[in-house]
Amino acid sequence: MANPPLKGIVSYPVTPFDAVTGEVDLPALRSLTGDLVAAGSHAVAPLGSTGESAYLTDKEWDAVCETTLDTVAGRVPTLVGVSHWSTAGTVRRARVAARHGATAIMVLPQVYWKLTEDELARHYGEVARAADLPMMLYNNPGTSGVDLHPEAVVALARKIPNLTMVKESSGEVSRFRAIRELSDGELSVYNGSNPVALDAFRAGAVGWCTAAPCLVPEWVLALHAAAVGGHDDRADELLRELLPFLRFIVDHGLPRAVKAGLDLQNRPSGPPRPPLLPLPHDETARLRELLGRLRPDRLPPSAD
């Protein structure tokens, strides 16, 4: 795709909850979203797994969607995760996202039963027609239990004209190039696996979908700038420093880890919603140490 609607750092906010009532904390969401835009995120993507979308009621989901998009207010593109167990639920969310001005939507094959090729085509096709927005297919076998290989992704995209983007979170870097080549460059590919961020950019990914900017935006944006600017030594150095943190937040669960980090930064977003539990004390102490190493003033100097 010559001009994808999203590129660069696509930042994923958590969904804050009130620590006492457990209700969605919309003022905290506005603050976090505003911080992501002000920090220089190239796009904002609410209601993914980081945003605990699966644990929200329809009313809460709608409020988070509306609040996030209203806060962004068109300053950067937005990508709304609309996945639901059912096609009807996904269609409903896609229409809400479109109504509130989303730039694009993201759909994970979030299913209980493993879907056939025909079932996947129908599911994605109905969602695409309902919203009439650019759509990103999200392949994350670790959370969905479904692994769509490049050949299957490209075959599906050929049936659905507005399926123009793929978020690939398997961690297999070879898939970025394979998807681009098999689709003759028609599909834009985005990395969703934090530890392979740099390899993904070097393999042709046009964006990095990540929750890391909630806590260390300066480092994430510096890595992207170095990667796309061809400053290989600086990019390698930045990733070496970032990797322990990136691995930590993935290994400990993004909602738990990011919310604990926000609390450490005096930007409370409440606990994750049950059945998730807050990050344990020992792990929180480790996260404090990692964040201390990634203060903005500790960024390696640029060669420019």
Residues that are catalytic:
138, 167
DSSP-assigned beta bridge partners for residue 104: 79
The two tokens of residue 85 are 């167990």
DSSP state of 174: H
The two tokens of residue 292 are 């201390």
Taking CA atoms, 82 is separated from 50, 88, 102, 110, 246, in Å, by 13, 11, 11, 10, 25
- Cβ(167)–Cβ(190) below 8 Å: yes
DSSP state of 3: S
Q: Is residue 50 a known part of a binding site?
A: yes
Report the amino acid identity of residue 265: Q
**Distance between CA atoms of 236 and 148, rounded to whole angstroms?**
30
DSSP-assigned beta bridge partners for residue 209: 10
Taking CA atoms, 68 is separated from 83, 105, 231, in Å, by 17, 14, 34
Inter-axis angle of helices 254-264 and 232-251, nearest 10? 110
- Cβ(7)–Cβ(42) below 8 Å: yes
DSSP state of 78: B
Q: What are the DSSP calls for 11-42, one per residue?
A: E-----B-TTT--B-HHHHHHHHHHHHHTT-S
- Cβ(295)–Cβ(301) below 8 Å: no
- Read off φ and ψ for residue 77, nearest 5 degrees: -65, 155
- Read off φ and ψ for residue 134, nearest 5 degrees: -55, 140
Binding-site sequence positions for pyruvate: 50
Binding-site sequence positions: 50
